[in-house]
Amino acid sequence: MTDEWWRGSVTYQVYPRSFQDSDGDGIGDLKGITERLRHIASLGVDAVWLSPIFRSPMADMGYDVSDYTDIDPLFGTLEDFDHLVEKAHEFGLKVIVDQVISHSSDQHPFFVESRKGGDNPKADWYVWADAKPDGTPPNNWPSVFGGSAWEWDGHRKQYYLHNFLTSQPDFNFHNPEVQDWLLGTMRFWLERGVDGFRLDTVNYYFHDARLRNNPRRRIAPQVNPYEMQLHKFSKSQPENLDFLARLRVLMDEYGASTVGEVGDSTRAVEIMAEYTSGQQHLHQAYSFDMLGPEFTPKHFRSKIETFFRKAPDGWPTWAFSNHDVIRHLTRWQDHGADQDSLAKLAAAMLLSFPGSVCLYQGEELGQTETDLEFHELTDPPGIRFWPDYKGRDGCRTPMVWDNATNTQAGFTTGTPWLPIKAPQQSRNVAGQEANEHSVLHFYRHMLEFRSARPELHGRETATFLRAPDPVLLLQRGSLLCAFNLGTETRRVSLPKGAAEDLSGPSQAAALTGALLGRKLELGPNGFAFIELQ
């Protein structure tokens, strides 16, 4: 790893509540993660990302922070965190922590003080505005989690802005003191040895100071009408770039990295490019463009090509699953010949894309979404919009380490905070360790292959070649990568110079490609890596 260790890296995301419980309370913790670092390191990844572990009332499972410089007792102590960082570094793993600074919990002391009135030191640390003459909110901005983004405070007699839950008030980034303080909290963790930050909702930091209404977006209403607006003024403001420049100076001081989450349904790739172009802002950014239902060569190609066209010197991070979306094997199940074949195809494809990669815990097992009943839910938007939207709990159920019949799956000795059901428990670590053809072993083969091929993790961009749908064909340096996204056998013509089928990762797949002269035959969900001369 160089000073640019993040470039082309593979990060493994841990959802701490659901990774490993060390004390039997049914909730994962830092000691449990430390116990399982060997599994993460054995995959061949470069870094581990920890979803929020700071003090929080857990209204949004830690994405509502009440203390930015302490660990929530659910997860352990600062000493437990320091030990985790030390052990991770011994395994050669970088540690990235989730930093949620667009908003805090309404229980944060600064918000408690801010809502007392307009004459206290924290009065302008959050976004406050008067009601319209008829008592309605200042403008038409909606909350991502439903309803207005404005909540009335009876004591201060003003509305405050919350892009998410009413218990997640937005910081006022137009106040330089807020920026200074938040950067100081990040320095606290850098001093403890963290290697970088995943920045939650990075394009939500600033709002339009004039509070102008968002324009209408002419689409049919979905379960949540949030997307019926073009969010021109409520997020992605130009002032954000100046703050990201300040943040970059701090990161460079410590040799740390940033990866920003860009939330936008209309121009996410463009914002990713803007935020990572040059050397002044984010190191990397990702969006939800590959976290949805689309599974076509055209879709993947368009997102990658658009990014590098907009920011040839920028750097993306790609992911197929995370803690906010339905797991990709469930989203794309109609495109799979079978579950294992689809899992291996997705891994081979993702790990061949230009940029960095993030894998979500359980992805290496070919894990699927857990089907939960209403009474089992904990996620606020799932509870609010049930049954049309079931929330995010289904992708957050605990990691399955073994096939013990007590439904605890080696995760806990107590009752898990979310249920572990039979379809998920059947795809456990112990069982796949014993099967050399398992998805788990394939991920290790594929990560080893990626690491050994500089074309796959360096600055080499992808050149997409013409191929019949649903085949995706891209060239990375001297390596030709071919993927059949369909469930029927396909043949494609190869360019001149195709020398040999590199069998390393392909041998671990259930269905692989075969060279037939100048033709490549790909079985259902088949793929191949061809050396070009």
Residues present in the chain in total: 533
Q: Which one is the CATH code of 10-104+176-446: 3.30.530.20, 3.30.1490.20, 3.20.20.80, 2.60.40.1180?
A: 3.20.20.80
State residue 3's pLDDT score. 80
Q: Cα(475)–Cα(178) distance, rounded to whole angstroms?
A: 46
- Mean pLDDT, the chain, integer: 94
Residue located via tokens 């914002």: 271
Residues above pLDDT 90, as percent of the chain:
90
Exposure on the CB side of residue 99, measured as CA atoms within 13 A: 26
Question: Mean per-residue pLDDT for 475-493?
Answer: 94
513 pLDDT band (50/70/90 cuts)?
Answer: low
Catalytic residue among 79, 252, 253, 488: 253
In the residue annotation, 253 being an active-site residue is answered as: yes
pLDDT at 116 over 90: yes
What's the predicted TM-score (pTM) here? 0.96
- Residues 16-35 have pLDDT tens digits of 999 999 999 999 999 999 99
State residue 515's pLDDT score. 65
Portions of the chain given CATH number 3.20.20.80 = 10-104+176-446
Both tokens assigned to 37? 């670092």
State residue 501's pLDDT score. 59
- Residues 183-228 have pLDDT tens digits of 999 999 999 999 999 999 999 999 999 999 999 999 988 889 999 9
* Burial annotation 415-443 (CB, 10 A radius, 16+ → b, else e): ebbbebbeebbebbbebbeeeeebbbbbb
Question: Mean per-residue pLDDT for 383-395?
Answer: 96
Residues above pLDDT 70, as percent of the chain:
95
State residue 510's pLDDT score. 34
DSSP string, 229-296: B--TTTS--TTHHHHHHHHHHHHHHHT-EEEEEP--SSSHHHHHHHHHSTTSS-SEEE-STTSSS---
Q: Cα(487)–Cα(470) distance, rounded to whole angstroms?
A: 9
468 pLDDT band (50/70/90 cuts)?
Answer: very high
Going through 308-439 in order, the beta strands assigned E by DSSP cover: 317-318, 356-360
- Residues 232-266 have pLDDT tens digits of 999 999 999 999 999 999 999 999 999 999 999 99
State residue 487's pLDDT score. 97
Q: Cα(362)–Cα(429) distance, rounded to whole angstroms?
A: 9
508 pLDDT band (50/70/90 cuts)?
Answer: very low
In the residue annotation, 177 being an active-site residue is answered as: no
pLDDT at 509 over 50: no
- Residues 144-195 have pLDDT tens digits of 999 999 999 999 999 999 999 999 999 999 999 999 999 999 999 999 999 9
Handedness of CA 304, 308, 310, 316 (dihedral sign): positive
Q: Cα(358)–Cα(47) distance, rounded to whole angstroms?
A: 9
pLDDT at 80 over 80: yes
Question: Mean per-residue pLDDT for 99-107?
Answer: 98
State residue 127's pLDDT score. 98
Poorest-confidence range of 115-119, 260-264, 345-349, 475-479? 115-119
499 pLDDT band (50/70/90 cuts)?
Answer: low
State residue 5's pLDDT score. 93
Portions of the chain given CATH number 2.60.40.1180 = 461-532
For residues 427 and 449, the answer to whether their CB atoms sit within 8 Å is no
For residues 230 and 201, the answer to whether their CB atoms sit within 8 Å is no
1 pLDDT band (50/70/90 cuts)?
Answer: very low
Nearest to 506, CA basis, from 484, 533, 532, 526: 526
For residues 148 and 162, the answer to whether their CB atoms sit within 8 Å is no
Poorest-confidence range of 143-157, 158-172, 308-322, 498-512? 498-512
Question: Mean per-residue pLDDT for 498-513?
Answer: 50
419 pLDDT band (50/70/90 cuts)?
Answer: very high
pLDDT at 497 over 90: no
Question: Mean per-residue pLDDT for 91-118?
Answer: 97
State residue 533's pLDDT score. 75
Catalytic residue among 98, 200, 261, 340: 200
For residues 32 and 425, the answer to whether their CB atoms sit within 8 Å is no
For residues 357 and 322, the answer to whether their CB atoms sit within 8 Å is no
State residue 117's pLDDT score. 86
CATH 2.60.40.1180 fits 461-532, yes or no: yes
pLDDT at 287 over 90: yes
Strand arrangement, sheet containing 150-153 = 128-129, 158-161, 150-153
